[in-house]
Amino acid sequence: MARRKKVYEGKAKILYEGPEPGTLVQYFKDDATAFNAEKRATIEGKGVLNNRLSEFFMTGLNHVGVPTHFIRRINMREQLIRAVEIIPLEVVVRNVAAGSISKRLGIEEGTALPRPIVEFYFKNDDLGDPLVSEEHILAFGWATQQDLDDMVSLALRVNDFLSGLFLGVGIRLVDFKIEIGRIWDGDYMRLIVADEISPDSCRLWDMETGKKLDKDVFRRDLGDLADAYTEVARRLGVMPQGPTGVTKPTLIN
Residues at the interface with ligand TMP (CB under 6 A): 92, 98-101, 129, 175-177, 201-203
- For residues 43 and 71, which CB has a smaller minimum distance to ligand ASP in the complex? 43
Among positions 29, 31, 34, 122, the unique one binding ligand ASP when judged by CB under 6 A: 34
Residues 6+ apart with CB under 8 A from 136: 122, 142
Q: Which stretch binds ligand ASP (CB under 6 A): 28-36, 141-149, 161-169, 178-186?
A: 28-36
Q: How far is CA 27 from CA 75, 79, 122, 134, 195, in A?
A: 9, 7, 24, 32, 11
- For residues 88 and 99, which CB has a smaller minimum distance to ligand TMP in the complex? 99
Strands (E), 10-130: 13-17, 23-28, 31-34, 39-42, 70-73, 78-82, 85-86, 89-96, 112-122
Query: Helix, strand, coil: what percent of the chain each, to 5?
Result: 30, 35, 40
Closest CB 62 distance from ligand ASP, rounded Å: 25
Closest CB 34 distance from ligand ASP, rounded Å: 4
Q: Which stretch binds ligand ASP (CB under 6 A): 35-43, 101-109, 160-168, 228-236?
A: 35-43
Among positions 37, 127, 189, 207, the unique one binding ligand ASP when judged by CB under 6 A: 37
Closest CB 201 distance from ligand TMP, rounded Å: 3
- For residues 172 and 203, which CB has a smaller minimum distance to ligand TMP in the complex? 203
Closest CB 57 distance from ligand TMP, rounded Å: 14
The torsion angles phi and psi of 153, rounded to 5 degrees, stand at: -65, -45
- Neighbour count for residue 203 (Cβ, 10 Å): 22
Q: How far is CA 47 from CA 22, 28, 76, in A?
A: 24, 5, 8
By beta carbon distance, the residue nearest ligand ASP is 33
Q: Which amino acid is at 165?
A: L
From the list ligand TMP, ligand ASP, none, which binds 23 (C-beta under 5 to 8 Å, kind-based)?
A: none
How far, in Å, CA of 50 to CA of 66, rounded?
20
Strand partners, 40: 33
Positions that interact with ligand ASP (CB under 6 A): 11, 33-37, 215, 219
